[in-house]
Chains A and B, each alone.
Chain A
Amino acid sequence: MVDRQERRVVDQQSLLLMQRVAADDEQAIERLYDQFGGLVFKVARQLMPTQAEAEDAVQDIFIRLWQTADRFDPRRAKLVTWVMLIARRHLIDQLRRRSIRPKPTLLDENMTESGGTGEPGQRTQADERNSELRRHIAKLPELQRIVIERSYLQGFTLREVSQQLDTPLGTIKSALSRGLNKLRESTDDKSKSDWAAS
């Protein structure tokens, strides 16, 4: 009961914040950045190949958040979900719009070559920025890790992945969903063990 009331208060605060953002309130936009700027940058850095591109993407994402602020509905999702959804959609769209799409690669190749694109320095950087994610992905069954790698990290559409792997689209969707959920569970376990060890 208390949880529900707390959630209602948080939802109400989020709604008010986004209403103020939609009304071009500078302080509200600053607050939105202070609340989510770090998180949005991290996901941008995970998916964009360079720091500069990641920072440009963060700018575009916050413009997009301002443009869509009036559509935020706390009954549908928490504010963090909304922000990350806008961010991820924008980033995946950017990956898909890149003129030169990477050759689809397997995680195993990525572990040694970091996708086979870019300069050696960039490869090391890419390995570093995604090392934690790749470590978790590596533990997944083969189909799940390939699908996550190609659709989420390389920006291929699910239909493209389905064609590349000659596997039905439904199977690809299920594998991706299971893989993403397992990732979340495995990181939850890690957080718990880290906490226990501390």
Chain B
Amino acid sequence: MDDQVEMTTQTEITMTELVELATLDAFGLLPPADAVKFERAFMAASMDVQSELRRIQDELASEDSILPEIEPSATLRSRVLAAVAETIEAESDHLAPLATIGITGTTNPWLEEPGVHSADASRSAPSASGNMRPLASVWTWRMAALILLGVAVSLAIFGSDAYRHSKLIANAYTGKITLDDIESRIGPQFNEFVSNPNCHHYYLASDTGSGLLRVAVNENTGEAFVFGLDLDPTIGSGELRLVSVDGSVHSLAIINTDQTVVGQSLGIVDLSLFASSTFGHLEFVDGNRNVLIRST
């Protein structure tokens, strides 16, 4: 098993290195760049190698003898289930038609049973979603604004009136950048993709992270380009991935987030992944694979 693993990619990776990466991955300690490398190597490896790596990761993940012998409190189960249920409800509210945006999703006080606002009840509200309803409204507007900005940026390229209009929007949104800035920072490639009628565009936005990503894929040549605005600079870099309907994940690029405006070529992508029968969604994840923004 120490021989080099045969792969279709240009880089070669030894079995020892692959086991090393698998181990770090199982403990959630794999840096993003290595995660991409590992994923590619895993997918390109033979079935035997995949099976061995899976076994190693399964053993490491299920190893509980190094974990403390502590049991959760009796109330944790109900708190967790309530938190998940509340998040599901908030998400479904969040996906409501535009006509309902802005209506705060507070529960009907008339339907609440008396006495449920005890200290315990407030504690049972999830930390991640305790204020989900008012936040959902704010983030919905923010997401809508980001999508509108993306649309405005596209229109701007096609006509001078729209150009002036979106320039105003871009200025208003960022307070410091213009479309000239975007072009000067990203280069002429940006314009080629945005104005190319053969390109299909995907927009990524979310209520949980900042920023907007737009992926343009030339459906004739397979060339692709990604353009980003206002991505979270604190993460340093993130990974753009395509998730197929069968759940398989395909890494497209590592994107640095230290600039307000980012743009880079994705080279030639596999167009079959973007076919309507296989395409699930695009997502942008941080180093811990938390999804920051995703396409609808």
Contact = CB atoms under 8 A, between A and B. Distances in A.
Contacts, number: 173
B119 interface: no
Interface stretch (A65-73, A103-111, A116-124, A138-146): A65-73
A90 B126 CA distance: 15
Contact of B27 (A63, A83, A152): A152
A158 B31 contact: yes
B20 A63 contact: no
A37 B80 contact: yes
Interface string A156-167: 011100000000
A81 B61 contact: yes
B19 interface: yes
26 contacts: A24-B88, A30-B81, A34-B77, A37-B80, A39-B64, A41-B70, A62-B80, A62-B83, A63-B83, A63-B87, A66-B84, A77-B57, A77-B58, A78-B61, A80-B61, A80-B62, A81-B57, A87-B28, A89-B288, A93-B290, A132-B68, A176-B23, A177-B23, A180-B27, A190-B65, A191-B65
A114 interface: no
Interface residues of A, number: 68
A191 B59 CA distance: 14
Contacts of A159: 31
The CB with the most chain A CB atoms within 10 A, among B62, B67, B291, is that of: B67
Given A63-B128, A66-B87, A89 B80 contact: no
A67 to B, nearest CB: 7
Interface in B42-100: 42, 54, 57-73, 76-77, 79-81, 83-85, 87-88
Contacts of B129: 63
B248 interface: yes
Nearest to B63: A184
A173 B64 CA distance: 23
A41 B77 CA distance: 11
Interface string A127-159: 011111100100000000000000110000111
Please classify the interface of chain A as helix (H, G, I), strand (E, B), loop, or mixed, using the class held by over half of its residues: helix
A174 interface: yes
A25 B6 CA distance: 42
Interface in A14-37: 24, 26, 29-30, 33-34, 37
A38 B243 CA distance: 30
A183 B23 CA distance: 12
B28 A60 contact: no
